[in-house]
Amino acid sequence: MSKQVLCPHCLQLTGFSVARCSDSFDIRGEQVVVDCDTAVCNGCGERIGIAEIDDVAYREAYAVYRARHNMLQPEQIKSLRSKYGLGQKAFARLLGWGDVTLARYEAGSLQSDSHDGTLRLAEDPANVRRLLAQNRSRLSSSQATDLETRLNQLSPEHESVLAREEAAAYCAGPGVRRLREMAVYFAEQPNTWRTKLNKLLFYADFLHFKRHGVAISGARYIHMQYGPVPADFYTLQAALVDDASIDEQVAAAGDRSGTVFVANRPADRSVFSESELDTLADVTDTFRGWSAKRIMEYSHSESGWRNTSDRETIDYKYAGDLRLS
């Protein structure tokens, strides 16, 4: 990097390079170790503090701390706010917070325990309805009216009907049958966690595109914190559970729990060509026995994920760079 800084160790105005290393951070009295970027003086080789690099490292440590304490991550907070159709200021005011508080949390700052508890309560529309009654005066008339409409749409009865309609429409879409059968194919394997299934689908489609110039399903994949994910994964999941193709089961791994998918039937292999079956088998063999965390970290090294931002589409042009051959 060409930027010149004063090194506190050699006291020289010098450039610096960025290296990947393991570092320990004191987060609220708790040590959190993460692999992160750090600045190294080009003169003496000692590590130096560069605000923009250190800020990213702290955000990575905060993410680990949140996961360890079951706190909402920034993208989950954004998703929660979007669920109610509110902007940052409006949602913060609804929660009784200052205008910039929520913006800081969505940008990666670590929320307080009490604020995380409030956000958890806000996951239930019934609690948001009570917040609206308490803090209605803090919202504009149009914001309050729009929120009331959204809360009515989020009622259990409406949500149930909507989910069935979306799943039915999704299943009728072109190319979806292949993606459905891919998901069932991988769910036949043991320990198919949600995070792992998303990555297996990604690798199957992108590897086949790399080899043959066409994906198996043609699904659109997006950049998420835990790696590439099919854009309509939750609709796909709902459809497969609804028609009893797969089961969702809660499983534990160490001190964490999550969703594991189990196939209730064999995948319909007749929908795949010989080359597609070869690709599915190769992906299965490559990642057999891998944990969700390991395949997530592996996917983070793919150029398609590294060169896109949160929720951006990962173009199939990146298939040529895939680490699998």
- 22-55 pLDDT, tens digit each: 889 999 999 998 888 889 999 898 888 888 888 8
Q: What is the 3-state secondary structure (H, E, C) of 26-64?
A: EECCEEEEEEEEEEEECCCCCEECCHHHHHHHHHHHHHH
Which helix (H) or strand (E) segment holds residue 18: the answer is: strand 16-27
Of 108-117, 136-145, 153-162, the range with the lowest mean pLDDT is 153-162
What domain count does the chain have? 3
Task: Read off the DSSP letter of residue 269.
Answer: G
What's the whole-number mean pLDDT along residues 74-81? 93
Claim to verify: residue 174 and residue 240 sit in the same structural domain: yes
- Which strand (E) or helix (H) includes residue 201? helix 194-212
Q: What's the full length of the chain, in residues?
A: 325
What CA–CA distance (Å, rounded) separates 38 from 14? Answer: 16
Neighbours of 172 (CB within 10 A): 9
33: containing domain: 5-68
Span between the terminal Cα atoms of the chain, in Å: 33
* Rounded Cα–Cα distance for residues 93 and 100 (Å): 10
* 38 or 175: which leads in pLDDT: 38
Q: Is residue 125 part of a domain?
A: yes
How far apart CA 200 and CA 164 sit, in angstroms, is: 26
Whether 164 maps to a domain, the answer reads no
Strand ranges inside 162-220, DSSP E = 192-193
At 237, which amino acid appears?
Answer: Q
Cα–Cα distance between 304 and 316 in angstroms, integer?
8
pLDDT on residue 253:
67
Average pLDDT score over the chain: 88
Output the domain CATH number for residue 42: 3.10.20
Q: Is the pLDDT of residue 106 over 90?
A: yes
CB 219 within 8 A of CB 203: no
Which region among 126-135, 150-159, 219-228, 246-255 has the lowest average model confidence (pLDDT)? 150-159
The rounded distance, in Å, linking the Cα atoms of 221 and 232 is 9
Would 123 be classed as within a structural domain?
Answer: yes
Taking 90 as the threshold, does the pLDDT of residue 202 lie above it? yes
Mean pLDDT lowest among 35-39, 67-71, 178-182, 280-284: 35-39
Residue 207 lies in a domain: yes
- Specify whether 189 is located in the same domain as 244: yes
Is the model's pLDDT at 209 over the cut of 60? yes
Q: Are residue 233 and residue 91 in the same domain, yes or no?
A: no
Predicted pLDDT at 79: 92
Is residue 316 a contact partner of residue 215, using CB atoms and an 8 Å limit? yes
Beta strands per DSSP E along the chain = 5-6, 13-14, 16-27, 30-41, 47-48, 192-193, 221-224, 227-230, 246-253, 256-263
| pLDDT at residue number 173 | 52
3-state SS class at 189: coil
Whether 25 and 121 share a structural domain = no
Is 240 found in the same domain as 190? yes
pLDDT per residue over 220-265, tens digit each? Answer: 999 998 899 998 787 788 788 888 899 988 777 665 667 889 999 9
Q: Please report whether residue 159 resides in a domain.
A: no
Does residue 162 form part of some domain? no
Q: DSSP letter at 14?
A: E
Considering the domain architecture, whether residues 80 and 214 belong to the same structural domain is answered as no
| In a domain? residue 163 | no
Calculate ∠ Cα 175-179-184, nearest 5°: 145
Statement to judge: residues 78 and 46 lie in one domain = no
